[in-house]
Amino acid sequence: MASKPAEILPILIAPDPVLKAPARPVATEDNDAIRVLLPRMFATMYRAPGIGLAAPQVGIGLRVAVIDLMPDEKPQPFALINPEIIAVSTELATREEGCLSLPKQYADVTRPAMVKVRYLDAHGARQEIEADGLLATCLQHEIDHLNGVLFVDHISALKRNMIMRRLAKDMRVLREEAAGR
């Protein structure tokens, strides 16, 4: 008998206050909830589609994130539980970032070019990863979510306000279209 696909979770859209609240560390008593949550987070991320998703984006205030950059178009998913950045490079890199919680909004964000992150994997084993390029950006972006920080918090107030106004307008149009059907 085939297992049923994981249920998709609703993704919160900025300025939902849950997105600005720091997530709490995962504790041993959360293990059963995490086992249920991870497949749902991966299913939600792939469906969006996205390359990263943090638990606060689906309304869960736990320090959990999932990432899959799909190198060579092949899935390489990994989960990060209680991730922490333990080292960053002095060298900076600027990349265009977007976010599932700010649909269709993008901005150039400057971050450390390389990071080292310590985390627990889906089996509870302690891991460390060193990354540069897109993975370094994605790790920092998702860990920011766990700290209540959005990518727009790294850009100028003027650009952030423009993006948030544009997002509010897009969401208003979508609600009006949905109500008109």
Residues noted as catalytic:
142
**Alpha carbon separation from 155 to 14, 119, 148, 149, 161 (Å, rounded):** 16, 27, 15, 12, 10
- Could you tell me the two tokens for 94? 């600027």
Residue 66's closest CA among 6, 155, 3, 17? 6
* Eight-state DSSP code of residue 179: H
Helix (H) or strand (E) holding 100: none
CB 141 within 8 A of CB 97: yes
CB 116 within 8 A of CB 129: yes
The letter for the amino acid at 2 is: A
